Structure 1
Amino acid sequence: MKAFTLPDLGEGLAESEIVQWHINIGDTVTTDQVVVTVETAKATVDVPAPYSGKIIHRYGNEGDTINIGQCLLEIDELRTSSALSTIEEREPESNENASATVVGKISQLDKHVDIDHFSYDEVHAIHANSITNTEHPLIATPSARLLAQKLGVKIEDIDGSGANHLIIDNDIYQAYQQQTPGTELLKGSRRNMAKNMAQSHHDVAAVTITEEAHLYHWHKNDDITVSLVQAINNACHIEPALNAWFDADTMTRCLHKTVNIGIAVDSTHGLYVPVLHHAEQYHNEGIRRWIDRTAASIRGRKISRHQLQKATITLSNYGAIAGIYATPVVTPPQVAIVGAGKIMDKVIMEGERISSVKVLPLSITFDHRACTGGEAARFIKALVHSLEHPTHDKIE
């Protein structure tokens, strides 16, 4: 029997959320058959089986958070008679370089772990004072012990869900939720958002400026999100300082010629920011089709990692729900984010005449380490001008 652990999904992502199991206990799987879909850093990944066999046990339910190296499945491996004879003739090989693998290469490189010799740092995980009044000793991963201390959970009362009753992080979270009713563990995109916002608050010298765009040519059925995307693209070409990345460690700034706009999308699963790459190549209808198609992917939790990467500036159209002005948060290495409030009627003076006009409140937060106040002011001025004097000359 073999234990299949969660492989390294790339880019230093240490944890994932189980979105959907594609197999059940007792099923027979083949090599590279997708067994589970997980979500990490807001992107979903299909994890294939490393070898053929019968599913004896699976660990974790849909919605549970798991870490790299944590056991996913126990598989009774199927081998042909020729394969067995080949294995018997083969000399034992060193496991020094065995490690979790990147998805897509699992069948060739995956570490096969004997269930009787589980590899969760067991030498360090076994409690020095094992419980003598239970059927099995208390065994827990180091991270689970640390988590139990932080949350005030009595680890001695927990029956681990891992192999040989190994206590893992998810067991601690479940115990904590039981002793503190109403407690919700942040998962998936919400967990990632919490980390990103904390990092931004710590790293960015954030300054917010506000302005209003008078929408003299506004029509009831106009698509404000599409108009904002076009206006941001135009403003980035007029003042490129805000369409940039900043690296504080090397004190370097990269000004981008291509405009990749991250568009914040609210969902029941949390906040997602898919990226419209090469926004300058889209016309209005193309932008709307992209938004609708991407929103459908987010609702179905099928957004890919590529769709969430390489934004050079971000748009948050929170006014579609509520709100006038805000202090939106910059996500490094980007240096700016545009926030749009709800459109309102405003009474203004035009000479000696009083009139009413639709007004769009705008808030721009920028990283003052990488942008000057003048650059930010010129950017928002260009943004307002584009919204007040829209053009439709972009092609997809």
Structure 2
Amino acid sequence: MAAVKEFTLPDLGEGLTEAEIVRWLVEVGDVVAVDQPVVEVETAKAMVEVPCPYGGVVTARFGEPGDEVPVGRPLVTVAVGGPDAAAEPERAPSGDQSADSGSGNVLVGYGTSGSAPRRRRVRPTTPLANGSGGDRSGATPPKPAAVTPAAPVPAVPAPAGPVAVVSPLVRRLAREHGVDLRALRGSGKDGLILRADVERAIADSAAPAPVTVAQADAPAAQAGSRRVANAPEETRIPLRGLRGVVAEKLSRSRREIPDATTWVDADATELLAARAAMNAAGGSKVPLLALLARIAVAALARFPELNATVDTERAEIVRLPAVHLGFAAQTDRGLVVPVIRDAHTRTTEELGAEITRLTEAARAGTLAPADLTGGTFTLNNYGVFGVDGSTPIVNHPEAAMLGVGRICPKPWVHEGELAVRHVVQLSFTFDHRVCDGGAAGGFLRYVADCVEHPAVLLRGV
């Protein structure tokens, strides 16, 4: 007789409490091995595949792509220990590895928490229908993946008993929009109220009331109606997941940081020549961003007050001993800022290798949360978008950001004569609480000097 184990979304660490289902990697009835990924989820930090600690036959999936699942809610149930997959599911305590074909592993890159307490499973005495019967404690069963909304949502008299809603996200959505869940008839199995039901009710309540048009104005009204009907519909993109986190950080930066920006043009011809010479010598190729990272780290060694953060609660400027260098990377999922740990201890070649590794992981959506947090200074190469300058927003809670525009041929006075040189615009945005214009200008001038004369860096070697 097979035992059916329930696998829940594990502790994600880094303060993350939920994840959005991106796609399922298994179907009901599939045989899975221990630690085989069963679902791909997106957190506010990264997109990862979640491995199941049990081996056996998948008997149920919970949630559809696009659903947000809180930590501790079921993902799948797996029949282990035999071919019979019809046994009643039991919730295994976190870390239980006793004779259940399970590893107890959690997501790679995330931390673990203590063992979760065993939950008492309450079976409903009667099927949930239109919110009646079921668990009198207020708990509701998880939503199977196979459930899809198929019917409209007519209002019905408010029934007695608990409301048949699975997801706390559905409850929150209804609460935020003032939707009475007891007035809805769920389109899910056994009358479960789904997210689509609540969204449909919200749309119905927002629909404008019909307007009576005078007979004389009827032709004009009909023509206007045709124009509206043919107009393109607006697109709404939820600010959640990675996009939501970025939006919150940028908003907080604008609210809290009194920033200022200074900029300068620099002749990058010798920097490009130095890079070409490095790559011609053999070995791994050094990206231009690695040279700029090396210059930024050297500048921070001269101006350590810029490698800092502001503790607003204690009204203190905190100067940080290590440089954890972030760099902006554009991906299909939006802007991310991977962090090079201890950049001040790395050679230019090592910086290049780490930039390459993190960039590839960012584009593949496989960055661990640790790769996206803890930065102390950011390098923003917006020149890859073909623009010369920018006034970027400081990456909160950091105190400064170096921006690099495109490098392109321009007329330039070189050694007293007009010549065509490769010129770049550098910008420096800083928290004015941390330093004044003198320190900011000195930092940017040193960076420009290193760009124009890379041999200046040899002084600090």
Q: Is the 8 A contact 1:347 1:354 kept in 2?
A: yes
Counterpart position of 1:21? 24
Counterpart position of 1:67? 70
Q: How does 1:249-288 map to 2 (within 5 A)?
A: 249-288=313-352
> How many aligned positions are there?
370
Counterpart position of 1:196? 249
Counterpart position of 1:334? 398
Q: Deviations over 1:228-250 (max 9, x none)?
A: 11110110001011111221112
Counterpart position of 1:319? 383
Counterpart position of 2:121? 114
Counterpart position of 2:451? 387
Q: Is the 8 A contact 2:174 2:198 kept in 1?
A: yes
Q: Is the 8 A contact 2:51 2:106 kept in 1?
A: no
2:27 counterpart letter in structure 1: N
Distance 1:373 1:24 in 2: 60
From the superposition, tell whether residues 124 and 62 of structure 1 become closer, same or farther in structure 2 (CA, over 3 Å): closer
What is the CA-CA distance between 1:328 and the residue it aligns to?
Answer: 1.1
Counterpart position of 2:42? 39
2:338 counterpart letter in structure 1: P
Alignment RMSD (CA, Å): 4.2
Q: Is the 8 A contact 1:208 1:363 kept in 2?
A: yes
Distance 2:452 2:55 in 1: 62
Q: How does 1:170-181 map to 2 (within 5 A)?
A: none
**2:172 paired with 1:165:** no
- Which of the pair is proportionally richer in strand? 1
From the superposition, tell whether residues 260 and 120 of structure 1 become closer, same or farther in structure 2 (CA, over 3 Å): farther
Pick aligned residue for 2:173 from 138, 143, 147:
147
From the superposition, tell whether residues 162 and 122 of structure 1 become closer, same or farther in structure 2 (CA, over 3 Å): farther
Unaligned runs of 5+ in 1: 88-100
Q: Deviations over 1:349-390 (max 9, x none)?
A: 458633332221112211122222222122112211221221
Distance 2:245 2:238 in 1: 12
Pick aligned residue for 2:12 from 1, 9, 12:
9
Distance 2:262 2:307 in 1: 16
From the superposition, tell whether residues 172 and 355 of structure 1 become closer, same or farther in structure 2 (CA, over 3 Å): farther
Counterpart position of 1:346? 410
Unaligned runs of 5+ in 2: 91-104, 125-133, 142-154, 208-232, 277-286
Q: Which has the larger radius of gyration?
A: 2
Which deviates further from its counterpart, 295-304 or 211-220? 211-220
From the superposition, tell whether residues 116 and 381 of structure 1 become closer, same or farther in structure 2 (CA, over 3 Å): farther
1:165 counterpart letter in structure 2: L
Pick aligned residue for 1:55 from 54, 58, 82:
58
Pick aligned residue for 2:302 from 238, 243, 252:
238
Q: How does 1:212-227 map to 2 (within 5 A)?
A: 212-219=265-272, 223-227=287-291
Distance 1:158 1:181 in 2: 28
* Percentage identity across paired residues of the two chains: 30
TM-score scaled to structure 1, two decimals?
Answer: 0.76
Secondary structure of the equivalent of 2:454? coil
What is the CA-CA distance between 1:341 and the residue it aligns to?
Answer: 1.1
What is the CA-CA distance between 1:48 and the residue it aligns to?
Answer: 4.5
Secondary structure of the equivalent of 2:266? strand
1:122 counterpart letter in structure 2: G
2:165 counterpart letter in structure 1: I
Q: How does 1:181-192 map to 2 (within 5 A)?
A: 182-192=235-245
Secondary structure of the equivalent of 2:446? helix
1:339 counterpart letter in structure 2: G
Structure showing greater relative contact order (alpha-carbon pairs closer than 8 Å, 6 or more residues apart): 1
Secondary structure of the equivalent of 2:442? helix
Counterpart position of 2:420? 356
Pick aligned residue for 2:369 from 305, 312, 328:
305
